[in-house]
Every structure is written in structure tokens, then in C-alpha cells.
Homo-oligomer: A and B are copies of this chain.
Amino acid sequence: MKNYKSYFRPSIDAMSGYTPGEQPKVMDLLKLNTNENPYPPCPGVVDGLKNIDTERLRLYPDPSADKLRDTIAEVYGYKRENIIVSNGSDDMLTIAFRAFSDAHNKVAFLEPTYSLYPVLANLQSCQYIEIPLNDDFSIKDDLLEKAAPSNLLILTRPNAPTANCIAIDDMRKICSEFDGIVLIDEAYADFSADNCIDFVREFPNVIVSRTVSKSYSLAGLRLGFAIGSAEIIAGMMKVKDSYNVNMLTQYLAEIAIRDQEYLNETVAKIKASRTKLTEELKALGFKVVDSQSNFLFTSPPDGDAEKLFKFLREENIIVRYFPGKKTAKYIRITIGTEEQLERLINFLKKIF
């Protein structure tokens, strides 16, 4: 056998790849680490799975996913031509990086934010600009100035892992003044008080990205969608893999998105638990960032988040810890069910 030598592009050899949150295979753990929804998907999805015409599995799915796009358009008040779907939100981000970014076109995003963005930038061999947030994770006044050399600005709203939102008026100002694409990553927007979905009508350079992974309880299905002007969507359609969303996902996501009543119920329960957990943590002396999402970003009384992360792990409670200058004093806790959060709080009461 010949010896192996690397034929990878240098930037691939140099990069370490994205580390997704753990998906532990022991299922009795209390898993509060990847912002999954603790409630099951809507009943229609459960029934839908029993009624699938399996014969159709032998055929390719609709490459343009027209039926699903029509449903999304209807529910969110747009037209089919304004909608693109993807194999989860990460696929949408990949499509955007491939469409707008390269060695000559930089991307800009907040710091801290979703840790996948720099990985995608390295993969696309484009430079990235990190726009530092204040210590309380609010934006600084020079955001537009910092973002100016880029062609694609990603604003994550609510932001991850910090859980808070840029004020809607600030969002409007940024979208109006930035000369490039503003991708508003609204993966968690169903849990926030307001959102930017109407911006697409106002700004031809805005893309709003959503997912069924969190609020619709369908992380396992992989469906992301984005809303933008017809011109932007048409360009992004050229970049996506033709058959990027499989038949079962097209079929089941459509059912889930139609059931806005179930979505609202589930979201209301999570918001109520969020309020309760926030209060209990504050009572224990934790600092809690104002959360507009289905998770909390919180710093323990002694500020030693890494120690707490490890303590919780030993107790089979998995949360997420992000080393790094601004995030190292915090842990990120997904909002679970009442019972799950009770277990967490009872344990924390023993320590603090």
C-alpha cells in the first residue's frame, strides 16, 4: 500500500472542525446542553409518521420543496419566492457563506456568538471580523463601523450563548445603514418578545433565518428556512444542493409549521419555566442575562462556572460551558420541563 500524503486544501488541514454539543448515548442523563425542546413534537407529526406513503421514498423529493415553502410563506406572510429551505439551520449558514463570502468578501459577526460561524469562515477561506459586545453582552456604538469592511453581517437574535436580544430599533438602524447582506439568525426567535421577520419587506439586503429544531421540537428532522427578497432567495437556490431536504422532512415539517397553536402552547410553557428558573437562580445569587431564548446564560455567585459545569456533570446534569475571555464565568442551561429544572435547582441549593 502506498503511503498516505495529504491532498486536503491547506485551510482544511489547518482547521480543527466544529465541536457540536455532546449527544450522550446514555439517555437517563438530564440533558440541558444543546437547547433542545423538552416537549414532544406536535401530535400531527406523530400521526403523520404513521401515514406516510412509503412507496414515495423510492422517488427523489421535490428539489424546490414547493409545498413546504408555500406553507411557510402562508404562515409567515410571504410568497414562495421569498422562502428557501435547508437541511437544518447549519445548512442555511453554509449556503450563505458559499453565496456571499470568499477570499475577497469578509464576514462579520458578534463576539461572543454561535461558535459555528468562524468554523464556516475557515472552511470557506474567508476572513472574519469579530465585533465585540460589552461585558453585559449588549452591542457597542461602533458596531456598524466594525462591520463595514464585510459583505455579510450575521446578527444572531436572540444571541447564543448569551440569550439576549439587540433592541429592535438598533436592528432597524443597522439593516438600513449596512452596505451588504444582513443575515439575522433567528433560530431562537419564537422565544423572544419580538422578532425581525417583517424586515424582509423593508430591507432588500436582509435574510431572516429560522429552524424547526428548537421551538417546534424537531431537531432530529433537520429543517431550516430563510426569508428574503426574491432576488436573494433565487441566488441562494443556485448554491444549495438540489435535493437538500429529504421527503420525510418536507412532509413532517409542513405539518408542524401549520400547527401554530401547539407551537404557542409549548413556547408559553418554556417561557414560564424560564421566568421561574431565572428567579430561583437570582435568589441563589447567580447573575442571569435577560433571556429571550429557551436557555439561560448565567454566572454562579463565585464566578467559577467551569467548576460548576464539572459538578453538574458528576451529578449527571449536562449543561454547556464555553471557555473564552467573556464567556468563561457563565454556563448555558437549556430550559427543560418543570421537573427537570426542579432537579437542577435542588442540586444547586445544596451547593450555594
Contacts and interface: CB of A to CB of B under 8 A. Distances in A.
Interface of A: 1-4, 6-9, 12-13, 15-18, 20-21, 23, 25, 31, 34, 36-41, 45-46, 49-50, 52, 54-63, 87-88, 90-91, 94, 98-103, 105, 116, 123, 125, 151-152, 176, 180-181, 201-205, 213, 217-222, 229, 231-232, 235, 237-239, 241-249, 252
A66 to B, nearest CB: 8
Nearest to A94: B241
A229 B232 CA distance: 39
Nearest to A62: B23
A201 B4 CA distance: 12
Contacts of A36: 58-60
B20 A217 contact: no
Given A99-B12, A231-B6, A248-B221, A90 B54 contact: no
A137 B247 CA distance: 34
Contact of A102 (B94, B125, B237, B243): B125
B6 A235 contact: yes
B204 A237 contact: no
Contacts of A116: 242
Most chain B CB atoms below 10 A, which of A176, A232, A249, A252? A249
Contacts of A21: 60
Contacts of A45: 54, 57
A36 B12 CA distance: 35
Contact of A220 (B15, B23, B56, B105): B56
